[in-house]
Amino acid sequence: MSTATVHHELASIVGERHCVADAALLEPYLEEPRGRYHGESRLLVAPGSAGETAAVLACCNRRGVGVVPVGGRTGLCGGTHSQANEILLSLHRQRRVRDLNAGCLTAEAGCVLATLQERADEAGYLFPLSLGSEGSCQLGGVLSTNAGGIHVLRYGMARDMVLGLEVALPDGRVLSDLKPLAKDNTGYDIKQLFIGAEGTLGVITAAALRLHPRPRAWITALLGVADADQAVALFRGAQSALGEDLNAFELISRGAAQLCGVHLDGVPIPGDIDAPWLLCVEAAGAGPEELLAERLAGFLEDAREQGGLLDAVCAVSEAQREAIWRLRHGVPEAVRRSGPALRHDLAVPPERIADFIDSALEVCRKHFAGAEPVPFGHVGDGNLHYSVPCPPDVDPDRFLEQGRPLSAELRELAWSMDGSFSAEHGVGLMLKDELERLGDPVKLELMRALKRAVDPRGIMNPGKVLSA
């Protein structure tokens, strides 16, 4: 049934002004950040509450109309791509912080991540989920993709920060499980099914989020090392020296850092560190800054004595700290501005990062002799964002298509090393065939069984994550 048929019924639920059918207004919701997909939906519906959201889903379920949830539209795997006979569902009207107290913030799914960070900070707490897109991504999308970011090392993935969820189900019911409890063993932990499900089982409308004490001191440094083996060795040394105060440990290839200098305005390599690999290291603690700085200095001194450290610069001001993180956060944008690139969100156990990088370079050169990959990522959890820019001797208009076999081989390589071909970006539309090809058959069958049980008519984000 066409979406036009249900337009009137949906308008009766959310109000006519919150049913958008104007092509010009819809256009921003149809484009995805990398330009690989362009949606075709002709209707966007914006319910104002969990009840309205559930009613919209119930209507679409009765009519057999597919529903594609959209948030801040920062996803990178085609998870919000829509067909002409599907509606888009936006929660941008649901932006209330319902409660904020010691240890917990309860917020609606349309809240922008940076806003939640600010609200927690104003109350004297820390909400540690931090992403490059935090100024625009929304809580519902962050949870539905189980986002990671730079602080996974210390605080875990998005799912580790969730105490409770409220979810609108495709049959029109609302799962209300917002108790701010760290301990609740009353049966299956149902909320975890919806975190990372990419909107294929229901629509997250609110979440109770775990808050942490706000650190009193922050120390940030940029280090230079010769190879990835040394980077991992330094990471283990930093863990021993800094313990739970180790807040982030990020890896940047020199090629990736140089792209920032070329394609971004005012993003040089701090301290002019000249090394094949750079490390952004940050410690944060509740004690005095002097004590934290002393512990970091001791770690760096040991690293120099052991020969694993080529150079280092420590931030002595907030401006210098921001400059180090501007380099790290600027890499994805610099890669994008450099032209066509094959991008991969891969993970391997940290001890296998160096082996992967060596083997991956051989794979790249086998397919494109002039390939110069620019990896960067999170050493502590083994997540590498492995980008391969178009070589100078390859037609840019054909590179992405010609590079498909290379991408498939890189994903297979990560999988063969007990890794993942999607560490934190999700599966969406882009990687569902890879999941079918590489995924464990038993796990896939259990996923399909859950999908059939919760969404028997298949209206929730059709065609994403699982193949038919």
What is the percent of the chain where pLDDT is above 70?
Answer: 99
What does the pLDDT average to over 54-64?
97
- Give 128's Cβ-side CA count (13 Å radius): 24
Say if residues 130 and 148 touch (Cβ distance below 8 Å): no
Cα 162–Cα 107–Cα 111 angle in degrees, nearest 5:
110
CA–CA separation, 327 and 323 (whole Å): 6
Q: What is the per-residue pLDDT for 132? A: 83
The tally of CA atoms less than 13 A away on the side-chain side of residue 341 is 24
Tokens standing for 401? 């298509």
Fold of 97-213: 3.30.465
Predicted confidence (pLDDT) per residue in 139-166, tens digit: 999 999 999 988 999 999 999 999 999 9
Pairing relationship of beta strands 86-90 and 66-70 according to DSSP bridges? parallel
Res 131: pLDDT: 87
pLDDT band at 93 (very low <50, low <70, confident <90, very high): very high
Amino acid 42: pLDDT: 94
The arrangement of secondary structure in 217-328, i.e. its CATH architecture, is 2-Layer Sandwich (3.30)
Q: Is 339-426 the same fold as 217-328?
A: yes
User: Average of pLDDT values for 385-404?
Assistant: 96
Question: What is the structure's pLDDT at 3?
Answer: 63
Query: Looking at the domain covering 339-426, what would its CATH class be?
Result: alpha beta
Alpha carbon of residue 449 to chain centroid = 26
pLDDT at 72: 86
pLDDT grade, residue 171 (50/70/90)? very high
Does pLDDT of 1 surpass 70?
no
Check pLDDT > 60 for residue 222: yes
Residue 456: is its pLDDT beyond 90? yes
Mean pLDDT of 1-10: 78
Q: Kindly tell me if the per-residue pLDDT of 34 is higher than 80.
A: no
- Mean pLDDT, all residues of the chain: 94
Mean pLDDT of 177-193: 93
Mean pLDDT of all residues in 275-298: 94
Phi, psi of 366 (to 5 degrees): -65, -40
Give CA–CA dist 462/387, Å, rounded. 29
CA nearest neighbour of 174 among 182, 183, 165: 165
In 10 A of CB 467, how many CB atoms?
11
Residue 2: per-residue pLDDT: 58
| pLDDT at 266 (0 to 100) | 81
Question: What are the domain boundaries of the chain?
Answer: 3-93, 97-213, 217-328, 339-426
User: Could you report the per-residue pLDDT of 406-419, keeping only the tens digit for each?
Assistant: 999 999 999 999 99
CATH architecture of 3-93: 2-Layer Sandwich (3.30)
Confidence of residue 94 (pLDDT cuts 50, 70, 90): very high
